[in-house]
Each structure stands twice: as C-alpha cells, then as structure tokens.
Amino acid sequence: MKVLILPDQQTAITRAADIVADTVTKQPDAVLGLATGGTMVPLYSELAQRHREAGLSFAQTTSFNLDEYIGLSPDHPCSYHHFMQETFFDHVDIDPSRTHLPKGDAPDPRIASDAYEALIAKAGGIDLQLLGIGQNGHIGFNEPTASLGSRTRVKTLTHSTRQANQRYFASFDETPKYAITTGVATILESRMCLLIATGEAKAKAVADMIEGPLTAVCPASALQLHARATIVLDEAAAGALALRDYYQTVHPEGRDSAFD
Ligand code: GLP
C-alpha cells in the first residue's frame, strides 16, 4: 500500500484530485469507479473546478459507482444517483450515457446486481477505483464480514452504517436497510484503487485497514492484497497508525518517493 499523509483535509483532497486528473489526462477514456459520501464532496468540487478552469475533461470517460440504496428511485433526493448528479455529473462534461450506478429501484435487485457486474466486465473493468471508508471499515457497502471474494450483490446495512447515514434522511426509520454494492473482489480487480479518508473519526478504521490483519471484519483490509492501492489521508485520519513515521519518511508530506 502506498500511504500518503497530508497535513490537512484540503491538501489531502488536492493530492487525491491530482491522482484522478493524472489518470484522466494520460488515459482520457479511463473507466472510473466512483464513490459517494461526505469525503468525496470536496474532491468532486475540486475536479469540477479543474474542469472549469484548467480544461480537465471527462468527456471520454466511463463511470461506475460503487453502490446504491435499494428502494430509492434515481430522482429521490437521498439516492446516490441524485448525489452524483448534484455533486459531480452536472458540473463536468461526462457523457450521461456512460455514467452507471446500480439500479436500486429494480424489480429484482439480485438480477440488477448480476447485470451491473456484467456491465463492468463488458466495459473492460475499472482503471481507477475511488473509495471512501466507513467508520466500521466498510468499502462501498461491503459491511464487516462481507466475503472478500464477493461480487456485486445485495447487502444488509449494519445499524451503525444506517446511523452514520441517517443525517441524509428524515429519520432513522427512513434510512434504507439494504443496498446494492459492488463486491470486494470486484473492487480488487480494479487496476488501481485510491482510498481517501479524512478526519479523526476514521482513524481506527484506517489503522485496521492498513496495519490490522487481513480480515472480512474490516473489508477495507482487503486492499492489502491490491498491488496498486494508494491511501490518501489527512493527519487526523492517520492518527492511529503505528508506522506513521515510516510512511512519512517514504512519502514526505504525501509526495511520491524517488522510485514511484
Ligand atoms: C457510505 C458509502 C461509502 C462511503 C462511506 C463513508 O456508506 N457507501 O462508499 O465510503 O459512506 O462516507 P463518508 O465519506 O460520508 O464518511
């Protein structure tokens, strides 16, 4: 794992945006795996700004989001479809016909899950997978004990994830119980993974992911198996790392090492 520790949230987001911009510039038709969540909001805003001011183009990219709540239509204000539209798609030149999210309102979410996995494969797989991390170590909606060999499927959300996401809904009871998520194995097949975590609330999950055992109890720890996983952190999210000094020696202030 390449662990980049930046002084604060803003510099962490800028660093992550540099990596996305570099991928899209070198490979304009890249297949991007996109993520939702509060961590991603400033990243999408930064990428939109680079589109407006520096001509960063997403016109030829294809995108696949990680997950979607079951039971919400794309125009529901709390759906991830809506989140992506509002925070990113509306602000860049991505072709709407090449953006994809799981269909949370499909009559049979199991069929929709299989179809989504097949669509990713048909597109040639994901070049760059963006990821956040839940406080319980989830990636996408792969909750603790999710199979490390899992593919896109229906997952039941944990109580703690529903509590964390309740802020977007009118009440806890209205917070969906189920989601379609790409699997841990789907994520691991991406050619590169870029996980971003900011803030003290993520420090324990980040330490478990990077330095804990490889275990389904912390699905993000599966990234230890990925040959090209970059983790971008701010100081607060890096706070519980035992080998923090080492990462900072290899990548001072999150810069590439001499051999990257
Ligand atoms: C949700 C998403 C995850 C995301 C996580 C963290 O559960 N399914 O993909 O990583 O939230 O969100 P936040 O960035 O708001 O902490």
Q: Is the CB of residue 88 below 6 angstroms from any atom belonging to ligand 1?
A: no
In a domain, 41, yes or no: yes
Catalytic center residues:
67, 136, 138, 143
Please give the residue range of the domain that contains residue 45: 31-200+210-254
In a domain, 6, yes or no: no
Which stretch of DSSP H or E encloses residue 102?
none
pLDDT value of residue 146: 98
In a domain, 165, yes or no: yes
Residues 106 and 178: beta-carbon distance below 8 Å:
no
In a domain, 26, yes or no: no
In a domain, 7, yes or no: no
- Token pair for residue 105? 């309102």
Distance CA 33, CA 245 (A): 31
Q: First and final CA of the chain: distance in angstroms?
A: 12
CA of 197 to the centre of ligand 1 (A): 10
Distance CA 3, CA 134 (A): 18
pLDDT value of residue 258: 83
Q: How many independent structural domains does the chain possess?
A: 1
In the three-class reduction of DSSP (H, G, I as helix; E, B as strand; rest coil), residue 181 is classed as strand
In a domain, 145, yes or no: yes
CATH number at residue 101: 3.40.50.1360
In a domain, 181, yes or no: yes
Tens-digit pLDDT profile for residues 120-179: 999 999 999 999 999 999 999 999 999 999 999 999 999 999 999 999 999 999 999 999
Query: Under 8 Å CB-to-CB from 83, ≥6 apart: which residues?
Result: 36
In a domain, 226, yes or no: yes
Beta strands in the chain (DSSP E): 2-6, 31-34, 62-65, 67-69, 99-100, 128-131, 153-156, 178-181, 192-197, 229-234
Tens-digit pLDDT profile for residues 191-244: 999 999 999 999 999 999 999 999 999 999 999 999 999 999 999 999 999 999
CA of 41 to the centre of ligand 1 (A): 11
CA of 40 to the centre of ligand 1 (A): 9
